[in-house]
Structure 1
Amino acid sequence: MSVKRFFKISVLKTYFLIGFLFLVSIFCFAQEKSKVDSLEILYENGNYKAENRLKILRQLSTEHPDPNKKLVFSNQLIKEAKLNDSTNLLFDGYLHKGYALYQKADFVEALESFITASKIAYEYNQESNLALVNIPIADVYSAMEDHDNAILYYDRALDLYKEELESHEKTNDLFSIAIISYNLGDEYIKYKMPDSALVYLEQSERLFNKINERVYLPFIIGSKGQAYALQNKNEVATANLTIAIDQLKEFEEYEAVSEFLHSLSDIYLKQGKPSEAIDYAEESLLLGKKFGLKDHISKANLKLAQIYEDLGETSKSYRFYKDHIAYRDSVNNLTTVQNLANVRTNFELSKKQIEVDLLEQQKKNQKILTFSIALALLLSSFVLAGLFRRNRYIKRTQKIIEAEKEKSDQLLLNILPGDTAQELKTKGHVKAKKFESVSVLFTDFLSFTHISEDLTPEELVRSVDFYYSKFDEITSKFGLEKIKTLGDSYMCAAGLPFPDNSHAIKIVMAAIEFMQFVENSKQFESEEHTRFDMRIGINSGPVVAGVVGIKKFAFDIWGDTVNVASRMESMSIPGKINISEHTYELIKDKFDCEYRGKIDVKNKGMMKMYFVNYGVPKNIQKKVWTEKEMNK
């Protein structure tokens, strides 16, 4: 699990947007430290005018490099902002409190603080602040490896900043877009999609060069090195990471240095050079301990445990692994974070209800105005003729309203499951639900980004639509729920919104038809679509489902089951359906499966995996399964 290395850049953008008069560049920290120290002494002694107290307090909460002191000043700013009834200062206080907690790796409390800042920005219609706070919310989700939500909030922030850019191009907006592009690239690295990652990283690099902000380029250089490593371009990856580390040490950006040292250790370990891998992992561990970087301490200990285990040095491996567990448990409270995700979902649905209520009130006002105009016309015309025209108007309007309502209902059903859409219509919000047993499927087209570079936009859309339209047909055929598509990845689930004992069987049958369709499409030449190789991953278990979104509703699912399903896909190979042990236990009597053995999965350890040998179900010859048979 990696922390968001662009955290300080996000903080810097915060200063620009809230118009803080004492802003100095984060990368001038060494030169400005004495100024912050002097300001702290001034505040503690009370040698300042009363009207300057809040200004000084805000500067200290914004710029102080010590997260513990930053937290103290932020809490004091929140307290005094409430007393002075200042929404801007209150937003700043919660925002910088969140940043301080983030620096301390207290992700749960950081997310709570950022969500509070988000509520303030929404309630007081502060769109720039609302766009701003989406970035650290996404950062926290990224740190907790909830990559779907991280990408969701980065995209949301990107949309808001692009709206600002369309009305008036500003360097600050380009700066924000560059930051978010970097973070999206970082997320795709974690998804092990290096082609997509490089697209966003290069976009970020171009924007920073355009606005002459080259001090941020070492972060991008290092991340590109990580992407090249995923492409097995070890020489250029090592070169990039080394350059980034040397430059970042000069800026005292030790969190990023620690992360990139860990990546170098991975490269040397893959090359069969354990001695060099140990050196880089130990340097990362020392930096983590020196600067209190819990997540990096955990990762470095795990890496050293794995290396020494491979070398047969069991006692050393055990010692490092025990330290890894201790630090991991102090950071990774997944249950609490999931509860916060539900809180965030309910908050956004309540915002949507407010918008609906306002729209209804506007409609009522419009109806009153229309009636008044009609009444005035009726008084100046013949009564019978006026009544006739009004009656005809009402009937025609009712038909239009009914037609539009039917379109709206159908559109909602295309976005959300039937019972979820009905609950949203009747109650105005949707409660998150837990499903104890579902199956989740991910697909991925290999080299999609590389191939798409040679296609026109029309050809790319036509090719994607060719496959996804068929996948939608197959999903409907087996009663599955399509969750979403993310680039070249298709995600669906079985066993929700209605529990289904045969969910694992149905989703495997759908996966087989997915794979057969992709393979069959290679057998004929066509200019209508491009042929791809595809891999599929499936996992079964409990999930939490709900609706998220401010402007656009989206039905989504969360939980460890979803993360493992994604891992099953990334650990699969072209043309294969890779399933977890949980899914295998549910389908082993129906399908012929090939045991792959235990495979090391990132952050999960060794996991049993199986390939489904698709073609004919086990012990079933040329027979169509009935619903009754699938439930046995």
Structure 2
Amino acid sequence: MNRLSYFLVFCIGLTMQVNSQKQGQALIDSLLIQLNKTKTDTTKVNLLNAISESYSDFNPDEGIRIGIKALKLAERIKWKRGIANAFMEIGINYGFGKADYHKALVYYYKALKIYKESGDLKSVAVILSNVGVAYIGQSNYPRAMAYLLKALKTNEAIGNKKNISDNLANIGLIYLYLSEYSKALEYNNKALKLYDKFGNKQGKNIVLINNGIIYYNQKDYSKALENYLKALDISEELGNINNKALLLNNIGGVYVEKKDLYKALYYYQSALELNRKLNANLGIALTLGNIGGVYYRLTNDGNGQALDKVTAGNKTIALDKAKIYTDSSIVVFKQIGDLSNLIYFYRQLSDIQTAMADYSGALQSYKSYSTLKDSVFNLEKDKKLTQSAMQYEFNKKVALAKAEQEKKDIRQRNIRNIIAGGLTGSLIFLTIVYRQRNKVKRERNRSDNLLLNILPLEVAEELKHTGEAQAKQFNNVTVLFTDFVNFTGISEQMSPTELVGEIHKNFKAFDEIVERHGLEKIKTIGDAYMAVCGLPNERADHAQQVIKAAIEIRNYIEENNGIFQIRIGVNSGSVVAGIVGIKKYAYDIWGDTVNTANRIESNGKPGKINISGNTYELVKDYFKCEYRGKITVKGKGKIDMYFVLNSN
């Protein structure tokens, strides 16, 4: 199966729940007429929010602007419900309209807090569902499933069948991504019945799209195309340009599988044009990458007829276009932090560069692909995580119920003791409460300190408040690697206890040095030590601080250690940083900058600080350096290297 087209569906079917049936510009014009006539502020807020919501389909930037206008008015009149609704609509425009799920979650959580405080269960269910949808967009299926199940349970409790259909459709979407197609069809068909019952064409449109994706993945391309075309008709009827753009993408994918590359290119280019009008970053990135894939396929044997139509039979032009489109796709995916798609399109870029005989570039792209692939969960892990998340939610509810019962038992017991013991009993009770409160506070502080030992402060705070920390791109950082020379040979001459004690002593000193200079320790691997400066907080002097820390580390080893000699390598550039795993959290960084820093360290000399040309350009005015020339590095070609001598 052509996996490229699978990535066409990442944004499709994200059923953002809204309070009105979207009908494009016609609905907006009607709402604007009402807005100009009304004099009541609360009605104005409601109308502005409805207009904001309607724009999410085809002009999310305008939707955000209108949503902010509603928010300011609601805040001025101190109307909490209007404030919460504005937060939700702004979130919908960011999430559904622009695929900026991180910003969407920020606004959703603000809305959720207000809805919970007011006891508005219907709106709570809507936001829970939208949060789940945002996590689907981030490929975080365990958290998505947890929130969608909460939304479903809340809607069932209040008998809100219209929104139950959306919950079912989104749960079906998760199963689709996990390739559990029978489960996906089961939930989709349940949702489809409810959508037909309530005349919800938008919901029906979503399910038809997702069923088309299922049939596509099952290689039933005729059924896939049938569902897509039905959905396309509904999208045009509703004026839903967003869904239309995504459908054009998917139809292009079907024609790729049918080997009709000329038609595939037509649909992809039509989709790209619409996505650019929408300023939908995810859609733009996907279609750019897919167009690049078509141009690459045109150069394969058997596609000569299509190649003649598109490039007059010129394979060189086709490969050049394939590289340009794929490169552009990768740039956008980096901006939005979509690691899953970066993995795929880095591999595609490597294949294209190989076909162009650019073997150095191909190797570099393949390494980027390999590094990112090792850093994210594969689908099998996602399945296990989803199951674990469901079990976690169940266990948590049981634990909460048990804890609540224990609290009741304690209260009853304390009440009896107070009655029996009078004032003395009251004093004892207050002492117990005071001690317990202090104990809880100490445990909380201990927990926070442990978290800060393994995560940067900003990342730890994000994790505590949102339950996760987003992977982010940092464009200006400097990475440091250290390594002990002949560590294996030396370690064989020491007892395990002596060896661990010696490493601990050195790394403890390194920890203190990097902290003084504002570096973030990333990890140790055996005798290697890795740190970075410039994240999670950006700073202009990141390279200077790393060199200062490197000099201090080298001097420490020379002055306090008669056992080991050390090599130090430094490189500057961009990295992706984020949390790996769900147990024993590890904050890590990835990218070519990291790999190159490691290579530079291994190409250094004992007692020397070896830096790249990138780092040299940032520190040459502050440190005297000795140019070593262009050094050949395995997998990287020739790299300019310098030894740092001392500070100017």
Q: Structure 2 length normalisation: TM-score? A: 0.50
Report the equivalent of 2:29.
34
Write out aligned runs for 1:591-610 (5 A): none
How many angstroms does 1:353 deviate by?
12
In the TM superposition, what is the alpha-carbon distance from 1:369 to its structure 2 partner? 3.4
> Which stretch of the first structure deviates more once superposed, 105-114 or 70-79?
70-79
- Pairing of 1:453-472 with structure 2 (within 5 A): none
2:48 aligned with 1:54, yes or no? no
1:302 deviation in Å?
0.5
Q: Deviations over 1:48-76 (max 9, x none)?
A: 54xx1232123212223243343234334
Q: Quick one: which of 188, 203, 220 aligns to 1:201?
A: 188
Q: How does 1:388-427 map to 2 (within 5 A)?
A: none
Q: Distance in 1 between matches of 2:588 and 2:141?
A: 12
Preserved contact between residue 108 and residue 127 of structure 2 (Cα < 8 Å): yes
In structure 2, C-alpha distance between the alignment counterparts of 1:262 and 1:329, rounded to whole Å: 20
- Match in the other structure for 1:10: 16
Is the CA contact (8 Å cut-off) linking 1:62 and 1:70 kept in structure 2?
A: no
Conserved in 2, the CA contact under 8 Å of 1:305 and 1:317? yes
Instruction: Please state if 1:186 is matched with 2:182.
Output: no
Shift of the alpha carbon at 1:110? 1.5
d(CA) in 1 for partners of 2:178, 2:411: 49
Q: 1:162 aligns with which of 156, 165, 169?
A: 156
Q: Distance in 2 between matches of 1:428 and 1:366?
A: 32
Out of 107, 112, 115, the residue aligned to residue 121 of structure 1 is 115
Distance 2:67 2:248 in 1: 32
Residue in 2 that maps onto 1:78 = 71
Shift of 1:317: 0.6
Q: Retained in 1: the 8 A contact 2:285–2:328?
A: yes
TM-superposed CA distance for 1:426, in Å, is 8.5
**Partner SS state of residue 99, structure 2:** coil
Tell me whether 1:132 sits opposite 2:178 in the alignment. Answer: no
CA contact (8 A) 1:57 1:77 kept: yes
Please say if 1:228 is aligned against 2:233. Answer: no
Q: Which residue of 1 aligns with 2:144?
A: 150
Q: Secondary structure at the match of 1:26?
A: coil
Partner of 2:256: 269
2:326 aligned to 321, 326, 344, which one? 321
CA shift for structure 1 position 127: 3.1
Aligned positions, number: 371
Aligned equivalents of 1:558 and 1:146: distance in 2? 17
Distance 1:424 1:53 in 2: 44
Q: Distance between the aligned counterparts of 1:252 and 1:85, measured in 2?
A: 35
Matches within 5 A, 1:554-573: none
Match of 1:95 among 75, 88, 93: 88
Match of 2:226 among 239, 245, 252: 239
- Once the two structures are TM-superposed, the CA of residue 157 in structure 1 deviates from its matched residue by 1.2
Q: 1:224 Cα shift?
A: 0.8
Letter in 2 for 1:70: G
Distance 1:242 1:309 in 2: 27
CA distance in 2, matches of 1:558, 1:427: 16
1:85 Cα deviation (Å)? Answer: 3.8
- The root-mean-square deviation of aligned C-alpha atoms, in Å, is 4.3
AA partner of residue 197 (structure 2) = K
The offset of 1:557, in angstroms, is 7.2
Task: Give the secondary structure class of the aligned counterpart of 2:179.
Answer: coil
- Deviations 1:397-431 (CA, angstroms, capped at 9, x unpaired): xxxxxxxxxxxxxxxxxxxxxxxxx9789969995
Judged with a 3 Å threshold, the aligned counterparts in structure 2 of structure 1 residues 58 and 359 are, in CA distance, closer, same or farther, namely farther
How far off is 1:559 after superposition?
A: 9.2
CA-CA distance at 1:215 after TM superposition: 5.4
Contact 2:11 2:137 in 1 (8 A): yes
The one-letter code sitting in structure 1 at the alignment partner of 2:153 is D
Match of 1:192, SS state, is: coil
Residue of structure 1 in register with 2:491 after alignment: none
Change (3 A) 1:273 1:430: farther
d(CA) in 1 for partners of 2:443, 2:253:
48
Distance 1:430 1:283, change over 3 A: farther
Whether 1:25 aligns to 2:21 is: yes
**Would you say the 8 A contact 1:175–1:211 is kept in 2?**
yes
2:112 matches 1:112: no
| Paired amino acid for 2:30 | K
Q: Is the 8 A contact 2:17 2:129 kept in 1?
A: no
In the alignment, the residues of structure 1 paired with residue 270 and residue 588 of structure 2 have an alpha-carbon distance, to the nearest angstrom, of: 31
Question: In structure 2, what is the Cα distance between the partners aligned to 1:134 and 1:254?
Answer: 26
Residue 290 of structure 1 corresponds to which residue in structure 2?
Answer: 277
- Tell whether 2:402 aligns with 1:370: no
Q: Contact (CA 8 Å) 1:264, 1:280: kept in 2 or not?
A: yes
Cα distance change on mapping 1:215 and 1:326 into 2, 3 Å: closer
Percent pairwise identity = 16
Cα 1:34–1:81 change in 2 (3 A) is: closer
Q: CA contact under 8 A between 1:58 and 1:74: conserved in structure 2?
A: no
Partners of 1:249 and 1:556 in 2: CA distance: 49
Q: Is this contact kept in 2: 1:228–1:237, CA < 8 A?
A: yes
Aligned partners of 2:28 and 2:51 also within 8 Å: no
Instruction: Give the residue type in structure 2 aligned to 1:257.
Output: K
Structure 2 CA distance for partners of 1:277 and 1:557, relative to 1, 3 Å: farther
Deviation at 1:560, TM superposition (A): 10
What displacement does 1:150 show?
A: 1.9
Q: 1:57 to 1:352 in 2, by over 3 A?
A: farther
| In 2: Cα distance, 1:95 partner to 1:433 partner | 35
Kept in 1, the 8 Å contact 2:281–2:332? The answer is: yes
Shift of 1:105: 3.1
Which amino acid in 2 is paired with 1:204?
A
Q: How far 1:202 sits from its partner (Å)?
A: 0.9
Normalized against structure 1, the TM-score is what?
0.51
Shift of 1:133: 0.7
- Alpha-carbon distance in 2 for matches of 1:557, 1:31: 50
Paired AA for residue 56 in structure 1: K
SS at structure 1 position matched to 2:16: helix
Structure 1 contact 6–179 (Cα < 8 Å) conserved: no
CA contact (8 A) 1:61 1:93 kept: yes
